[in-house]
Amino acid sequence: MTRRRAALIVRTVILATLIALLEIGCRTGLVDPLTVLAPSDMVAAMIGQLRSGELDASIITTFSTITIAFLLAVVLGMAIGALIHRVSRLRDVADPLLASYYSVPTFIFYPLLVALLGLGKAPLVLLGILSATPAVVIGTLSGLDSVAPVLTKLARVHRLSSARTLRWVVLPAALPHLFTGFKLALSYALIGVIAGEFILSGTGLGYAISFAYQSFDNRAMYGAMLFVLLVAVIANGILYVWEGRLARRRSRG
């Protein structure tokens, strides 16, 4: 059994144990059902919402926004990271800014973005980009730093073009750090978009959760929250599996 699989099994067992304890606590009255629903009731509420179609519009709005923000953040973050890595003076300026970037919650700028861009998807996309791009920049810088100089020298010896050097040398060597940045960027994009919808928006899953909370509709609130959580876990799991397959292919190569 590989270390990755063993760690996955341990995490799964711990999570299942915590869910079982919460279920027992809710069913025995140790946990107030007005505060937290039993996990089985959350699942039932989520399934009911999905079957009824009441979340369809919110799901399309939220995840299309997250997808656009994530893809733009990946492209922009890799370009900025490559530029910073190439220009040493720019690296000296950018490093402390990147180190302290997440000390400021970016979603506080959402009202300003609404004033500048108006209501709609644009301020939410920009908020997701602002939240996710630095993670990709940091991952790109770490990945490029991890490329051994001997590899680039070897590429020059074999007279590889810049494109082939990037494809066959730089990207495989930087891949683990890049995927770490991608996984963090996906999480930050999701947090930024849903937080923006929660604070000041009339559509999306964040708004649906906020509306249910203000209406004291615990079943709808926890059902929507569970759906967002499951989608986030599945998306990160897909990236995790993809990362593992690429790593195994790289080791065989």
CATH label of the domain that carries residue 91: 1.10.3720.10
Q: Is residue 26 assigned to a domain?
A: no
16 in a structural domain: no
Residue 24 resides in a domain: no
Is 146 a domain residue? yes
Residue 23 lies in a domain: no
Mean pLDDT by 10 residues, the chain (253 residues): 72 87 86 82 90 88 92 93 87 84 76 76 88 92 82 75 74 80 89 83 85 87 90 83 70 57
Tally of CA atoms within 13 A in the half-sphere of 122 that contains its CB? 8
For residue 153 the two structure tokens come to 């020298």
195-218 pLDDT, tens per residue?
Answer: 888 876 778 888 899 888 888 888
**8 A C-beta contact, residue 236 and residue 183:** yes
Q: What sign does the dihedral 36-41-43-44 (CA atoms) show?
A: negative
Whether 161 is covered by a domain: the verdict is yes
Per-position b or e across 226-249, b if 16+ CB within 10 A of its CB: bbbeebbeebbeebeeebeebeee
Tokens 């140790």 -> residue: 30
Full domain range(s) for residue 151: 41-252
* pLDDT for 251: 61
Tell whether 88 is covered by a domain.
yes
Provide the number of structural domains found in the chain.
1
pLDDT at 247: 66
